[in-house]
Amino acid sequence: MIAPDMPHNEAERLTVLRDLQLLDSESDKGFDRLTELATQIFDVPMSMITLIDEERQWFKSHQGLKVCETPRRISFCGHVVADGQPMVVNNALRDARFSDNPLVTGDPFIRFYAGYPLFVEPEACVGTLCLIGMLPRAFEETDMQRLKLLAAQAEELIQLHILRVQANQRDRA
């Protein structure tokens, strides 16, 4: 297993992430509808909106998975955040980065992964919108375009959350 690298701007990225006030927040119907839609569009059993902090990936929304976080060092999404680029793993058993990952060799037995980075600022990738399957599969360019559109919607939901936080802060002042 190859653990994800740290982004070159990790300290700044973490500051942006904390300022969002999304980590460990209540569930949100908008985010939940988006992950539910992603599972239906791509016919996958699991979809998540992840936020990556120092030690974990926390799921703002998750479909088909019972846990709400996993360690960053074993996360697929940590690789996406480190690179700031989409990533597709067609068969995790045949990918040296993941073949002996506990999420591949054990529950939930990940075989397919597609993740798209979520940015709130040009240099601040805070997490991903990701798809997970338990069977290997191909992921075409049209699939990536659809995932990109859904990720853009997740970024819009994050921006709306920021506006709500700012409005609440003004109301308290």
| Structural domains of the chain in order of their starting residue, each with its CATH number | 10-172 (3.30.450.40)
- Helices 29-42 and 141-172 sit at what angle, rounded to 10 degrees? 180
**Mean pLDDT over each residue of the chain, to the nearest integer:** 95
> Residue type at 121?
E
Find the mean pLDDT for residues 46-66. Answer: 96
| Strand (E) or helix (H) holding 107 | none
- Read off the pLDDT band of 166 (50, 70, 90): confident
The pLDDT of residue 136: 98
Instruction: Give this prediction's pTM.
Output: 0.95
> Residue type at 116?
Y
- Read off the pLDDT band of 152 (50, 70, 90): very high
- Fill in the DSSP letter of residue 122: T
Pairing of strands 69-71, 112-121: unpaired
